[in-house]
Amino acid sequence: MDMSTLYSPTILDHYAHPRNWGRLASPDIVADSDDPSCGDQVHLEIALDPDGQVAQVAFEGEGCMISMASASVFTERLQGKRLEELEALTEEEVIGWLDAPIPPNRRACALSPLIALRAGLAAYRRSAGG
């Protein structure tokens, strides 16, 4: 089966060449998403600049092509965003970044990085007192 007929060029490229793979020296936000039903795992780290904008972002993980490609695209799209913008991200926006129709049974894969981000933001807000 030819993968190019199943996945968009965006998914194929980001899966083969993930952007922002690794860990940060001193992240402000750290979070994980783990879907035991399919095995997708995403670890997300974000460093903020003094103005509260995303200065650096990195991820590691393992899982299917969609989850790993989505995490890679996700990290690129977060660069320069403010906390309020991160909190306002929607599932449809994240799915749209993949430039491919994502079937209902694969939405959880594509949304793994957003799930991690939401957990990380909640923990960050709690630790920051607000």
Q: What CATH code is carried by the domain that includes residue 59? A: 3.90.1010.10
What is the spatial distance between Cα 67 and Cα 37, in angstroms, rounded to a whole number?
Answer: 13
What is the spatial distance between Cα 24 and Cα 33, in angstroms, rounded to a whole number?
Answer: 18
Residue 82 lies in a domain: yes
Instruction: Show the domain range for 93.
Output: 3-124
Residue 128 binned pLDDT confidence (cut-offs 50, 70, 90): confident
Q: How far apart are the first and last CA of the chain?
A: 50
- The number of folded domains in the chain is 1
Residue 86 lies in a domain: yes
What is the spatial distance between Cα 35 and Cα 106, in angstroms, rounded to a whole number?
Answer: 12
Residue 39 binned pLDDT confidence (cut-offs 50, 70, 90): confident
Q: Say what percent of the chain tops pLDDT 90.
A: 83
Question: Is the pTM above the cut of 0.85?
Answer: yes
Residue 26 lies in a domain: yes
Residue 129 lies in a domain: no
Residue 38 confidence (pLDDT) = 80
For residues 17-34, give the mean pLDDT. 96
Residue 54 lies in a domain: yes
Exposed (0-12), middle (13-18) or buried (19+): which is 92, by Cβ within 10 Å? Answer: exposed
For residues 80-104, give the mean pLDDT. 94
Residue 20 lies in a domain: yes
CA distances from 85 to 3, 11, 54, 80, 93 (A): 34, 24, 10, 10, 12
Residue 100 lies in a domain: yes
Which amino acid, residue 86?
L
Residue 130 lies in a domain: no
Residue 90 confidence (pLDDT) = 97
